[in-house]
A and B are shown apart, each in its own frame.
Chain A
Amino acid sequence: MTAVKQRLSGFDFQNMVVYIGFIAIFIFFAVTLYDDGFLTQRNLTNIFLQTAPATIMAIGLVFALSAGEIDLSFGSIVAVSALTAAVVLRDYPLIMGVAAGLGVGILIGALNGVLVAYLKLPSFLVTLATMGLFAGIARSMTDLRSVPVMNEAFTGFFGSGKLFSVPSLLIWTVVAAAIGHIFYRHTRFGAHVLATGDNPRAAQVTGIKVPRVRLYVMMICGGTAGLAGLLYAGRLQAAKYTLGESDLMTVIAAVIVGGTALNGGKGSVIGALLGSLLMGMLNNGLILMNLKVSDQMIVRGLIILLAVAVSLRDSSR
């Protein structure tokens, strides 16, 4: 009897929400939008490809939230990274553009991280400020102009390319999720991230370098946002300050629905992947339903609210 109860409480409701929600929404759209082509391979692949940047950002955010921090600035980092890469690619080869785009993301993450870890400022406020700061910088970088990306190697690698007929964006998604999952669940670093978010004092007295963990998770967020910027620039063959602007809500919702706790110590990379796909499916379905953009936003907001409420229901016990 107690064994059964133990099993049931070990059976993680929060982690199940994303699976149940995923299947429910999939079936709903499959039935109601069958004639609109929801189930076609093309549409399903599209969902995957369109969510690739958000998924990558969600994976980064799992680390930050699990360590008890948050990053609100990743949308702005996306734009700055994409613009940086696009500008560098005008005159320099692929590798330089990639390094510049990723490097800028990691650097901004490091700035966030230093302020959070060593100046002990709350990450919510730090990244709220840097979100605004780098949104402004993204606008001023190219005077609000869009920068085309002509480098075909780049647009192939980060956008429309294929490897053995598998779209590169799909490969990025799967590889990022796999690496993220292994780091999160199967390395000492992942364990230290969880312990830091769970009980920083316990982590610290057992010799875990808590400030360093905090710095690293913010850098991971910056790095994944940088990569997301490259993926946007690759797919759209251009960079603009608006990239990443509207991802904040979607990405946070994806992560929370995926079973990651808002206050640290618990999370899932695979859950975030599914959460992100769920958000993508929702977007796609609402568009296929021919809803006005304003109605789409309202419905999406309501569904996210519902999903997050259900996901968090269990954690307030």
Chain B
Amino acid sequence: MAGKGIVMNNELNVLSLKNIHKAFGGIVAIQDFSLDLKAGEIVALVGDNGAGKSTLIKIISGVYTPTSGEIKLDGQEASFSDASAARSNGIEVVYQDLALADQQPVFMNMFLGRELTKPPFGLLDKARMRRESQELVDDLDVRIPSASSTISDLSGGQRQGIAIARATHWASKLVLLDEPTAALGVAETGKVEDLIASLKEKNLAILIISHSLDQVFKLSDRICVLRRGEQIGIRETAKTDKNEIVSMITGVA
């Protein structure tokens, strides 16, 4: 049963972007972008500052609507009116500047916007949220003092761990990561990278933006290069090298 499911998922693209175009007034941020993503696959999105990487992620996650082009989710045409519409379709984003509420406990952040309640009065089921959060972070080996800890008492790596744990908990299809380790130190980056690598086993499709080519080569199956909104090309990570990617990013041969 499980095996069959995986085979089917592998045949079908979780996400399919075709000829995506996005302009802000006169500025063309993305032109003619196409990409297919399969379950259990990590694709890295690289390019210089202002290349349009964040814009692309915002288009997929419903923050921006593309000026033209087609987005398909599991083969179905999809257009999300806002971020929560994308979220309810199984797409989660981990932002570079963490979308966590700092003064709230871990478990409330884990269930932010999707708090669990219990009958008969529909009051918050804090015990269950606490327990499930603990299981989630334990499962992903994110080490925090407790699920009741306040976010602001945690380190950058722990926070990003929480953000990723939250994303994987709620994502049924696709996790988008926008420079998830940009604000982290070396040791913390290593931990978060391990965490991202472990998401493959959960059969999620993953699109990660990163400025670190070491990271990109360590994690990804394919690499997609953007330059000033233009899609330069897609390479299989195993069949390319840093030199080629760098010259694609800079346009200097």
Q: Give me the interface of A with B, judged by CB distance under 8 Å.
A: 2-3, 6, 9-10, 182, 185-188, 190-192, 194-195, 198-199, 201-208, 261, 265-266
Contact = CB atoms under 8 A, between A and B. Distances in A.
Nearest to B84: A207
Contacts of A194: 101, 103-104, 108
B121 to A, nearest CB: 9
B239 interface: no
B104 to A, nearest CB: 6
B: interface residue count bin? 20 to 34
B83 interface: yes
Contacts of A261: 103
Given A198-B101, A202-B100, A206-B114, A6 B153 contact: yes
Interface string B134-170: 0000000000010001100100000000000000000
A266 B152 CA distance: 13
B152 to A, nearest CB: 10
Given A191-B108, A207-B114, A186 B100 contact: no
B101 A195 contact: yes
Contacts of A186: 123-124, 126
B191 interface: no
A6 B145 CA distance: 8
A130 B153 CA distance: 39
A188 B114 CA distance: 8
A205 B123 contact: no
Given A9-B153, A186-B124, A207-B87, A265 B103 contact: yes
Contacts, number: 80
Contact of A202 (B84, B101, B145, B149): B101
Nearest to A204: B83
Interface string B60-88: 00010000000000000000000110011
Nearest to B124: A186
Given A188-B117, A206-B114, A207-B114, A265 B84 contact: no
A265 B102 contact: yes
A191 B124 contact: yes
A265 B117 contact: no
Sort A-B residue pairs by CB-CB distance and give the 4 closest, nearest first.
Answer: A207-B84, A206-B113, A198-B101, A202-B99
A12 B84 CA distance: 34
B123 A187 contact: yes
B68 to A, nearest CB: 25
A49 B58 CA distance: 54
A198 B103 contact: yes
Interface of B: 63, 83-84, 87-88, 93, 95, 98-104, 108, 112-115, 117, 122-124, 126, 145, 149-150, 153
A201 B96 CA distance: 13
Chain A residues touching B, majority SS:
helix
B117 A199 contact: no
B132 to A, nearest CB: 15
Nearest to A183: B123
B102 A206 contact: no
11 contacts: A6-B153, A186-B123, A187-B122, A195-B108, A195-B112, A198-B101, A198-B104, A199-B99, A206-B87, A206-B112, A208-B113
A42 B112 CA distance: 47
Contact of B99 (A3, A9, A190, A206): A206
Nearest to A207: B84
B102 A199 contact: yes
Contacts of B102: 198-199, 265
A205 B103 contact: no
A205 B149 CA distance: 22
A6 B144 CA distance: 11
Given A191-B124, A195-B112, A206-B84, A266 B117 contact: no
Contact of A195 (B63, B83, B104): B104
A203 B112 contact: yes
Nearest to A185: B124
Contacts of A208: 112-113
A187 B118 CA distance: 10
A188 B95 CA distance: 24
A187 B124 contact: yes
